[in-house]
Amino acid sequence: MRTLLALAAAALLLGCAPDRNTPLGEIPKLTSLEDVMDNQKTSADPQFAKIGQASFSDADYVAFGLTGERIQVTSAKIKDFSKGPEFDAFAVKLGEKAKALSTAAAAKDAAGARTALTEMKATCKACHSKFK
């Protein structure tokens, strides 16, 4: 029973967080950092959950490629909401790791995808601990 209550509470909390899947061409038009970050979260969080997997499916590689592309675009947009050079450096680093994810996805390189995802997640955490 406690497990069911915990799952229900988690679902409610997750349901409250906005999911954004703005078309890539529209991301440069976003007017708030929150919208950009919501786009990143919507795309990256499901992929971060796969970090520990030993192998990936073709569908995973497609998702990694799409996430890599989306994070590159959103990372470029983040600089419009700059909080200074360190903030901008995190955005650049995240974009570079996202590019590595796209490259690994295209090559179906499981180790490269895991590394890129791990480094992307670490970059997100570091930025959030400093600026959120």
Domains detected in the chain? 20-131 (1.20.120.10)
For 18-39, the three-class secondary structure string (H helix, E strand, C coil) is CCCCCCHHHHHHCCCHHHHHHH
Tell me the Ramachandran region of residue 84: left when phi exceeds 0, alpha when psi lies from -120 to 50, beta otherwise: left
pTM of the model: 0.85
What average pLDDT does range 102-129 have in this prediction? 98
The pLDDT value recorded for residue 123 is 98
Place of tokens 């903030």: 87
Percentage, residues of the chain above pLDDT 70: 86
Give pLDDT tens digits for 74-103.
999 999 999 999 999 999 999 999 999 999
Residues 6 or more apart whose Cβ sits within 8 Å of residue 66: 43
